């Protein structure tokens, strides 16, 4: 049917109004981006926060983003940073590439004057893999609680953590190895500069992360380069506080030696040759050894433990904790035997003080299975989180809120998650309030806990304190009483979990350092 001319004009005007209602243009570093409105939010994906780290920019600090003309559509996620494998069992492998320094924003703000608190998520993946585009990390449910949620990609594996004498010599900071952390710092600086345009408050930024993301946050709290970039920190199951005697390659000289062995394994012993290699080639050879932080004097002038013990950390309120059965998602216990227990531990982690193994009785195969899971839980997660809480409580002025996650999600039998229990990753469905992403038999108690945890987390981002009616009271953790919130059904307050075995680690580490964990300001 032919539309009369006046009606056609009205029709076109209405269409333009509808199009405007579904999009939003914002000016950021580099130009204008256009997001999409959905469910009361405006969502922006794949905004570049730095220049693509390719060619001559490979293994350099992130450079300013290149400007673009016109309006850039920001409605589809960018590629994840180059990687192998996936960060979480059952995750679909992401599309990857070197051009990966992009940021995503979920905002409920109606205008830029809203001044909403901001939560910046740092994904995990052992510094080897992971993606900000994983559906589980979507910020829509948290954003509807009155915060802006941000996520981003950062360089991983050898592209993010390669140290070499040549790289150290060419660097203005005389350091190499922590490019992934320089990316994280660049993303946080982008947030400070640009988040007001999305209705955010640059003076109320909270970083939160899980696993390697939480490890990153412990490092950012220790880095002078990150000072003033965030006002709150949430760490879920990850920190970096062990004695460096157990990780000599984390020092610059050791990391450079490791990097030289990696380069030789690729048949590219010079930096120029490495920069000419195809990106996928960089994931071969001894690439697996290049996936850890480096104490290189610039981003990380000292170990986080030493920084916190001296009271020099970026002092912000902290919410942190770990899960009751962390190792269930990470270790296959079916082949664990009492006879080979010690040898298997040494094969997995390298030489360890014998006293550590003695703290986990394993006379029978059944005892050995329990001991293996408990050892992994304490070594990789429990001791770090307990120590992070103790150090901040002792040497910082800002409060600590410490949790222990004990809820067992209804992981289906026969699935990749079967038997996990309150394992590594398990809290994420609750934190992001994303139970409905999986067709599992979630109970009313699961849904109540997800609502409570998402509210605790967003309350913390708003005020630096997770408390608020009608939630159960979360007490502040102190060195004197060590009160911990147990996140389960019901939510309850108790002492530090697994204190007996954690104390075994603590005694061994104190002996290696020559001093116990501080209990008061230096």
**Residues identified as active-site:** 211, 326, 424
Q: Chain-centre distance of CA 69, in angstroms?
A: 33
| Contact criterion met (CB below 8 Å) for 504 and 383 | no
Pull the structure tokens for residue 410: 């209804």
Residue with tokens 């350092």: 513
Q: Among 26, 44, 15, which Cα is nearest to 107's?
A: 44
DSSP code string of 342-403 = HHHHHHHH----HHHHHTS--SSHHHHHHHHHHHHHIIIIIHHHHHHHHHHHHH-SS-EEEE
Instruction: List b or e across 464-480, with b for residues whose CB sees 16 or more CB atoms inside 10 angstroms.
Output: bbbeeeebeebeebebe
Handedness of CA 96, 160, 378, 238 (dihedral sign): negative
**What separation in angstroms does the CA of 376 have from each of 77, 209, 345, 408?**
34, 20, 9, 19
Determine phi and psi for 375, rounding to 5 degrees: -60, -45
Question: Which stretches does DSSP call E strand in 237-355?
Answer: 318-323
Gap between the Cα atoms of 23 and 45, Å rounded:
13
DSSP code string of 391-440 = HHHHH-SS-EEEEEE-----PPTTSTTTT--S-TTTTHHHHTT-GGGS-S
């Amino acid at each position: 049917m032919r539309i009369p001319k006046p009606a056609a004009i009205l029709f076109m005007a209405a269409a333009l109004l509808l199009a405007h209602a579904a999009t939003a243009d914002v000016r950021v570093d580099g130009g204008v981006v256009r997001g999409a409105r959905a469910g009361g939010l405006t969502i922006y994906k794949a905004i570049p926060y730095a220049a693509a780290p390719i060619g001559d920019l490979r293994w350099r600090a992130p450079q300013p983003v290149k400007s673009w003309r016109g309006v850039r559509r920001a409605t589809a996620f960018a590629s994840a940073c180059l990687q192998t494998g996936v960060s979480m069992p059952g995750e679909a492998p992401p599309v990857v590439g070197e051009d990966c320094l992009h940021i995503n924003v979920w905002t409920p703000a109606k205008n830029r004057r809203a001044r909403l608190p901001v939560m910046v998520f740092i994904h995990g993946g052992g510094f080897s893999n992971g993606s900000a585009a994983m559906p589980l990390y979507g910020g829509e449910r948290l954003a509807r609680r009155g915060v802006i949620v941000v996520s981003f990609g950062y360089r991983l594996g050898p592209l993010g953590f390669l140290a070499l004498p040549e790289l150290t010599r060419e660097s203005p900071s005389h350091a190499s190895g922590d490019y992934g952390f320089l990316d994280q710092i660049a993303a946080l600086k982008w947030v400070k500069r640009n988040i007001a345009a999305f209705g955010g408050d640059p003076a109320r930024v909270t970083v939160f992360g899980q696993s390697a993301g939480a490890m990153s946050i412990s490092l950012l709290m220790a880095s002078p380069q990150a000072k003033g970039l965030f006002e709150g920190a949430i760490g879920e199951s990850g920190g970096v506080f062990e004695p460096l005697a157990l990780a000599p390659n984390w020092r610059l000289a050791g990391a450079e030696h490791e990097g030289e062995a990696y380069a030789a394994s690729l048949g590219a012993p010079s930096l120029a040759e490495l920069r000419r290699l195809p990106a996928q080639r960089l994931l071969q050879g001894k690439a697996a050894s290049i996936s850890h932080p480096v104490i290189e004097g610039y981003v990380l002038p000292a170990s986080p433990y030493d920084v916190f013990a001296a009271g020099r950390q970026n002092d912000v309120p902290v919410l942190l904790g770990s899960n009751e059965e962390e190792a269930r998602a990470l270790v296959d216990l079916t082949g664990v035997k009492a006879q080979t227990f010690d040898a298997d531990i040494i094969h997995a982690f390298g030489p360890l003080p014998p006293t550590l193994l003695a703290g986990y009785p394993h006379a029978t195969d059944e005892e050995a299975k329990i001991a293996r899971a408990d050892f992994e839980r304490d070594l990789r997660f429990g001791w770090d989180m307990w120590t992070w809480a103790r150090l901040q409580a002792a040497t910082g002025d800002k409060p600590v809120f410490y949790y222990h996650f004990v809820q067992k999600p209804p992981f289906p039998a026969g699935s990749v998650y079967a038997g996990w229990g309150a394992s590594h990753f398990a809290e994420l469905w609750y934190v992001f309030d994303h139970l409905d992403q999986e067709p599992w038999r979630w109970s009313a108690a699961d849904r109540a806990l997800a609502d409570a945890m998402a509210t605790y987390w967003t309350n913390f981002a708003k005020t630096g304190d997770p408390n608020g009616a009608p939630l159960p009271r979360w007490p502040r953790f102190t060195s004197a009483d060590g009160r911990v919130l147990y996140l389960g059904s019901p939510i309850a307050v108790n002492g530090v979990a697994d204190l007996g075995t954690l104390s075994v680690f603590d005694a061994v580490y104190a002996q290696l350092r020559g001093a116990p964990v501080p209990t008061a300001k230096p």
